[in-house]
Amino acid sequence: MRVYWVRHAAAVRRGEWRRAERLRPLTGGGHRQAQRLLELFEGAPLTHLLTSPDLRCRQTLEPLAAQRGLPIQLDSRLASGRSAASALALLGELDGHAAVLCSHGDVIPRVIERLCDEGLRLERELICEKGSVWIVDAEPGRRARARYVPPPAKAREPGLAEWDDVAPQGREKLRVAVLDLGSTSFHLLVADATPTGEIRRVLREREMLRLGALVARGGNIPEPVCGRAIEVARQLRRRAAAARVERLYPVATAALRDARNGRQLARRIGDVLGTPVRVLSGVEEAHLMFAAFRQRLAVRDGPALGIDLGGGSLELAVGDESNVHWEATLPLGVARLHGEFVSADPMSREARDAIRARVRSSLASVARRLARRRQLDCIGAGGTLSALARRIVTRRTSWPARAVNQLFLPISELREVAAELVGSTHQERLAMPGLQKPRADLLPTGAVVLETLASELSLPGITVSDWGLREGVILEALGLESVRIAAAR
């Protein structure tokens, strides 16, 4: 049995990383190290790739996984700080097959020392540099041996400084734009992205079109509105060009997916943009949303529920740091329900009750499925949730919120703000601190949907992510995430 113990390649230094430690990525040099490791494994009959859940470990094995077509399996027993006994327990599950295990500089030396206590023979002193590999061979009736392979970059360029010394701001950047043709608005995001998955927003533009409400009423998008949508897309394309965007990724969601003439409109918009519009399925939306959550927030070892409430649909996904295990898309978009049920200002009690009944009915099968799991953390995205978060912060502090990322909204406050919004007129909402004008009419409907969802699924609350579908599209384009629909089914 041969096991390759790989220490992750060079990562951004801790002192230069301001987000969750588990999301600390490889540097550009670290990615080159990971790519050069492929030569070491050439011809090796590998069957398993296992890694610590930390992003830098996953990225170290991604070139090998792509070359071999093998899945990367995350295992917390390889995480930093774990014991040798914990990591070695994995070996009994490999059935004697050759495997690559990627871990950290504190775990691998403990493993090698423990094996030495059991008779392992080393060919050199025990060291463990970033990007290095310990190859351990154990055959029945023979003494186990271990061979050390130094980092490939150092082996070829011995005078090179540590890869960790490369400052993150010096890494290559690509200016990209996502044009999200949504059910409530057309939204342009221009961002600078790096190969490690860092995304810095440069420009955001939004035009409210409310296509979801039109589709809910008639199933079609009227021709005058199609003309307006095409012109808005043209204008946003010009904004992207003015921002010197190198790549444009237009995507469409529920309204164009569900409208009878939605695909035709998508083709017309693609002609104007000069690049085809990708009409996302609900499954793709859920996967891309969860990819953004994984990169932006620290998704713990156990599964989490991700939600994205848009204008035309509600996406839900249950996943962890490696995979999405289940997903659903439901016709519970804010613009859709508002157009169907709300006609009075303020919202009538009958409309509120009808929205709640629709949400409960649509969520019934989801609630039964999730009831079999232990209580899940819930992460949410979308303009409605962010708007509610800003209003909740203002209610708490009397000061407007500068940022709401990672803010936890307990269900008690969701209920309070829903009651406040439902009982208010449009003019009263416009005067509320922390509430933005473009969402003043739809926000009561969105608040009812989210409050009912949290109640029906027995959620203690929702943690807000400021990354969602658009950032997920960028991550996929960078090759850091793939929509593995078939594998997740």
Per-residue pLDDT tens digits for 203-212: 999 999 999 8
Q: In 69-210, which residue ranges form alpha helices assigned H by DSSP?
A: 84-88, 107-117, 152-156
**pLDDT band at 262, cuts 50/70/90?**
very high
Q: Is residue 143 within a helix (H) or strand (E), and if so which, with residue range?
A: none
Position 158 scores a pLDDT of: 37
Tell which residue, 461, 400, 393, 391, has the closest CA to residue 421.
Answer: 391
DSSP character at residue 125: -
- Residue 217: is its pLDDT beyond 90? no
Considering 13-27, 160-174, 252-266, the range whose residues carry the highest mean pLDDT is 252-266
- Strand arrangement of the beta sheet that strand 133-137 belongs to: 72-74, 48-51, 99-103, 2-7, 133-137, 145-149, 121-122
Distance between CA atoms of 481 and 343, rounded to whole angstroms?
Answer: 42
Summarize pLDDT for 9-23 with one digit per residue, the tens: 998 887 777 677 788
**pLDDT band at 272, cuts 50/70/90?**
very high
- Of residues 13 and 154, which shows the higher confidence score? 13
44-65 average pLDDT score: 89
- Residue 42: is its pLDDT beyond 60? yes
Distance between CA atoms of 90 and 193, rounded to whole angstroms?
Answer: 36
Q: Is residue 186 within a helix (H) or strand (E), and if so which, with residue range?
A: strand 185-193
Query: Are the C-beta atoms of 253 and 292 separated by less than 8 Å?
Result: no
Distance between CA atoms of 23 and 70, rounded to whole angstroms?
Answer: 22
222-233 average pLDDT score: 97
**pLDDT band at 115, cuts 50/70/90?**
confident
39-57 average pLDDT score: 90
Position 306 scores a pLDDT of: 95
Angle subtended at Cα 434 by Cα 431 and Cα 438, rounded to the nearest 5 degrees? 70
- HSE (CB half, 13 Å, CA atoms) of 190? 17
In the numeric block, which tokens belong to residue 58? 């996953």
In the numeric block, which tokens belong to residue 337? 């329900």
All domains of the chain, ordered by start, with CATH?
Answer: 2-169 (3.40.50.1240), 172-279 (3.30.420.40), 283-471 (3.30.420.150)
Write the CB contacts of 290 (distance below 8 Å, at least 6 apart in sequence).
306, 317, 319, 324, 327, 472
Summarize pLDDT for 389-407 with one digit per residue, the tens: 999 988 888 777 767 888 8
